[in-house]
Amino acid sequence: MPLHEYIASESGKLRVTPRSNDDEKDFDASEVQDGVVDAKSSKKILNLARIQLSEIMAEEQAAADAKKKKEMENILASEAALTPVKSEILLTGSDDEGVEPDHEQEIEVKSEDEAVYSKYLEQGNNNEENITLADKIMAKIREKETGEPAPDFEHEEDDEPVRGVMLPEKVIAVYVKVGELLSRYRSGKLPKAFKIIPTLSNWEDVLYVTQPETWSAQAVYEATKFFISTLPADQAQKFVQGVLLDRFKAELDPNAPRQPGSGPKVLNQHIYNALKKSLYKPAAFFRGFLLPLAESASCSPREAVIASSILVRVSIPALHSAAALMHLAENEYYTSCISVFIKVLLEKKYALPYKVIDALVFHFLRFRAPKTRSEVKVTIVWHQAFLVFAQTYKNDITEDQRDFLLEVLKVQTHPAITPGIRRELLAGHPQRPAEEPEPAPQ
């Protein structure tokens, strides 16, 4: 049958106008009634289901937590009922009136807990020096070599920590070999056994085994850098005085053997650089090298000039320089080397405290009435130091001190320098503030 005849023979009518939105809604509703849901509606339904499920799980978790908390409270209440209650009342009162203060509760402590607590307190109150790992290793080696029990590193009867002095034979053999290596050292890394020496409590004994007097100049320089940067100032002072000072004197000793026809002994450049590196700790340098050298009777002017050149080339903190000046000025025994160091430190022109300036004034006043033979006939360096002091600090002294210093020039004179000192002192205008009187009590 032709198509148009088939359509005409059917009972329905053919739609000739487009479907409206209402028709689509009716179509969707009919699909929902038939049990078919689109993707958008399915997504919304799933989201609502997830939210409801999470709320149900949160409620169940809260109920479980509340149940556990209630059980814990019941356990604590039962334990508290078994513990005795102290009848004393706390001293702290309550802000609200009519409210009775709480009672202090005494809880029984087990013997095991009390022992742990007392041990903790003993460790907290222990003020003895810390024992390093290296000390324990040395103790174990000593125990194995000698057969004696290792020290407990606790307090003895006199409450002093145990300090080992004797070294095991194996340790001595190792560091004797290290000393032999350092005697041939030229460049490269230092032995690892040498680098642990500063961490030992008896590092001076171990260092003595290596024989520092036989080290090469390069080894002295490298060891100085390592020890000065590792040790504190008071310990570094021992290294400077025990190694650098002795090596400095040995290098410049005129009686030391030398090749025939060679000139006077000169200081090795590496030793000189090591002394400059030691100024990284100024307190160790002054107390371990400069002051002992200046106070020693065997210090020659050549040694003083070479040592003072280090002060010229290296910057020094003002406070350390002032302390060294005061110590040199107050030294009981005068030598020409002291004037060399005073002159070099004064040429730095630091702002010195009045206490140091007074010490320098009294130092020069000593030569107005000389008591020793060295003070009777001073060297030219003393006049040069006096001239530098007058040029730099002529305005920081009092008028009385200036008059006394002018009297010194009548006793100690130099034809070329004394007129300049007198001219500088007279040209000065003392601006030192007078001491303020104490305020009267009101």
Which of 8-22, 39-53, 135-149 has the weakest average pLDDT? Answer: 8-22
Domain contains 364:
yes
Q: Residue 369 belongs to what domain range?
A: 333-339+352-432
Domain contains 35:
no
How would residue 164 be classed by pLDDT, with cut points 50, 70 and 90? very low
Same-domain status, 193 and 208: yes
pLDDT of residue 113: 59
pLDDT of residue 43: 79
**pLDDT surpasses 90 at 421:** yes
pLDDT of residue 117: 47
Same-domain status, 222 and 311: yes
Q: Write out pLDDT tens, residues 104-158.
A: 444 455 566 555 545 544 544 444 445 655 566 667 666 665 665 555 544 444 4
Q: Which residue has the higher pLDDT, 413 or 124?
A: 413
Dihedral, CA atoms, 64, 66, 67, 69, nearest 10 degrees?
120
Q: Vertex 78, ends 77 and 83: CA angle to 5°? A: 95
pLDDT of residue 23: 52
- Of 186, 215, 244, the residue that ends a domain is 215
pLDDT of residue 393: 93
- Report how far residue 105's alpha carbon sits from residue 146's, in angstroms, rounded to the nearest whole number: 57
What does residue 359 show for φ and ψ, rounded to 5 degrees?
-65, -40
Which of 172-181, 262-271, 290-299 has the weakest average pLDDT? Answer: 262-271
220-243: average pLDDT? 93
CA distances from 301 to 251, 297, 327, 365, 374 (A): 15, 11, 19, 23, 14
242-247: average pLDDT? 93
How would residue 97 be classed by pLDDT, with cut points 50, 70 and 90? very low
Same-domain status, 362 and 384: yes
Q: Which amino acid is at 292?
A: P
Q: Are 330 and 359 in contact (CB under 8 A)?
A: yes
pLDDT of residue 298: 84
Same-domain status, 386 and 417: yes
pTM for the structure as a whole: 0.60
Domain contains 11:
no
Most confident of 12-26, 56-70, 377-391: 377-391
Q: Are 151 and 164 in contact (CB under 8 A)?
A: yes
How would residue 320 be classed by pLDDT, with cut points 50, 70 and 90? very high
293-310: average pLDDT? 91
pLDDT of residue 370: 73
Same-domain status, 422 and 356: yes
402-420: average pLDDT? 92
Domain contains 27:
no
Domain contains 55:
no
- Of 153, 184, 215, the residue that ends a domain is 215
**pLDDT surpasses 60 at 376:** yes
Same-domain status, 210 and 220: no
Same-domain status, 220 and 197: no
Q: Could you give the percent of the chain with pLDDT greater than 70?
A: 65
Same-domain status, 297 and 363: no
The shares of helix, strand and coil residues in the chain, as percent rounded to the nearest 5, are 60, 0, 35
**pLDDT surpasses 60 at 162:** no
333-360: average pLDDT? 93
Q: Which residue has the higher pLDDT, 52 or 374?
A: 52
**pLDDT surpasses 60 at 218:** yes
Same-domain status, 276 and 297: yes
| Average pLDDT over all residues of the chain | 77
**pLDDT surpasses 90 at 28:** no
Q: Are 340 and 301 in contact (CB under 8 A)?
A: yes
pLDDT of residue 80: 52
Domain contains 175:
yes
Q: Which residue has the higher pLDDT, 353 or 146?
A: 353
Q: Are 336 and 373 in contact (CB under 8 A)?
A: no
pLDDT of residue 114: 57
Q: How many domains does the chain have?
A: 3
Domain contains 67:
no
Domain contains 76:
no
How would residue 253 be classed by pLDDT, with cut points 50, 70 and 90? confident
Which of 20-34, 164-178, 310-324 has the weakest average pLDDT? Answer: 20-34
pLDDT of residue 379: 87
Same-domain status, 221 and 197: no
pLDDT of residue 388: 95
Same-domain status, 141 and 226: no
pLDDT of residue 89: 37
Same-domain status, 224 and 307: yes
415-439: average pLDDT? 77
Nearest to 233, CA basis, from 357, 310, 317: 317
